[in-house]
Amino acid sequence: MSTIAIKRIYEEPVKADGYRMLIDRLWPRGVKKERAAIEEWNKEIAPSVELRKWFNHKAENFKRFSERYELELYAKPQDIERLLALAQHQKLTLLYAAKDEKINHALVLLNVLNKLKLNAK
């Protein structure tokens, strides 16, 4: 099975990224579509608008945000299975725009995908 990685969309795209998927509901500020070099923009896997607004990227909300976002993800089994299937054949890089690399939805999604990959073995 190939790997799944996360990366800020503002970082330079490289060939080693493999399949580049933007996982934000909103297009990142200041990023031109050509420069983004994405294969797909998957808005559906992003946190709901309500959850994203509630979280507001506040560190004190991250634990509860993670729990609530995980519930949203588990309610989308087809979307999750599709990501895992993509990652079986090539490296999958999930792109996000959040400034904080330690508290963001991409970390939560990556954790869920890795847990499911381990359980599938």
What are the boundaries of each domain within the chain? 4-120
Crossing angle of helices 105-120 and 62-74, in 10° steps, is 50
Per the DSSP assignment, residues forming a β-bridge with 95 are 7, 22
Q: Where are the alpha helices (DSSP H) in the chain?
A: 33-36, 49-55, 62-74, 77-89, 105-120
Is the Cα dihedral 57, 60, 63, 65 positive or negative? Answer: negative
Give the predicted TM-score (pTM) of the model.
0.93
Reported as a single tens digit per residue, the pLDDT across 21-54 is 999 999 999 999 999 999 999 999 999 999 999 9
Per residue in 56-80, pLDDT (tens digit) is: 999 999 999 999 999 999 999 999 9
Asked if 3 contacts 93 with a C-beta cutoff of 8 angstroms, the reply is no
